Amino acid sequence: MLAPRSGSPHRRRTAAAVLFAAFWLLPALSASPASAADTPARGSAHLGMGVVAHDGQQRGSGRAANAAVQTEGVDVSSHQGDVDWPTLWSGGVKWAYAKATEGTYYTNPYFAQQYNGSYGVGMIRGSYHFATPDTTSGAVQAGYFVDHGGGWSRDGRTLPGALDIEWNPYGDTCYGKTAGQMVSWIADFLNTYKARTGRDAVIYTATSWWTQCTGNYGGFAVNNPLWIARYADAVGTLPAGWDFHTMWQYTSSGPTVGDHNRFNGALDRVQALANG
């Protein structure tokens, strides 16, 4: 004869229910704070934010074997605050891009110091827009960019605006868009920027993101200079359509400010891009 089980049937059912709930709820509760902590605040994105996480980082010296003449540049955002431009200039940096805007909800509070400060020490400068294709249309964001520091002037020292289109730091990698939708969004931005400024914008991206999120579309290469992101000793494979890169972000750990770049040519080629 079996010994009687301790406790009433009701108590045993209640205990089992509590254990079952704890089994399923505890992992979810412990995961939620970490997930929230991993999502940065809107407006905090910057050029190359996702490069290390998605593409990794090799040496990133920017000095490939048998490299042609290249001209050093930097890119900055609110993360750098007020930038020490004289030190960068004396260290050989000749051009710079500063983040102006993101989406239609953010302007860089340090933009004036960064954009005008680089110009003041003699650099050729430009501004960039961090794209968020899941918030508003490409045309609306291009207009916001131009109205908040993304314009172009024929002064010989202002580079055309750059569209930073890369991994979404706030959610879905491709911003919830199909490859065709992403290409249309980018075209909308580029066409509006050209209509507003008379210049073709630079496209900043990484080959792996471009391949995944645009289907490796090659149609922009005819008009839009390529600024490629890869933290290694060579640019590697470029997105479809581009036979060469114009600029290369090769590291996020350079001197004075982290993000350093090489222009694919001597200083006179940087000036030529500024002059259109």
Strand segments, DSSP code E, in 83-223 are 95-102, 106-107, 124-130, 162-164, 202-205
Give the residue carrying structure tokens 């001209």: 71
150 C-beta neighbours (distance < 10 Å), count:
25
Active-site residue flag, 233: no
| Cα(38)–Cα(24) distance, integer angstroms | 22
**CA distance readout (Å), 202 to 5, 11, 110, 113, 271:** 75, 69, 22, 22, 15
| Cα(202)–Cα(214) distance, integer angstroms | 17
Give the active site residue among 55, 72, 166, 200.
166
Give the active site residue among 102, 164, 200, 259.
164
- Yes or no: say if 121 and 83 are a contact pair by the CB < 8 Å rule: no
Active-site residue flag, 166: yes
The two beta strands, 95-102 and 106-107, are antiparallel
- Both ends of the chain: CA-CA distance in Å? 96
C-alpha 47: how far from its chain's center? 3
Give the active site residue among 72, 75, 102, 200.
75
- Tell which residue, 163, 111, 160, has the closest CA to residue 138: 163
Structure tokens at 270: 């940087």
Give the residue carrying structure tokens 């430009």: 126
- Residues annotated as catalytic (active site), given as ranges: 75, 164, 166
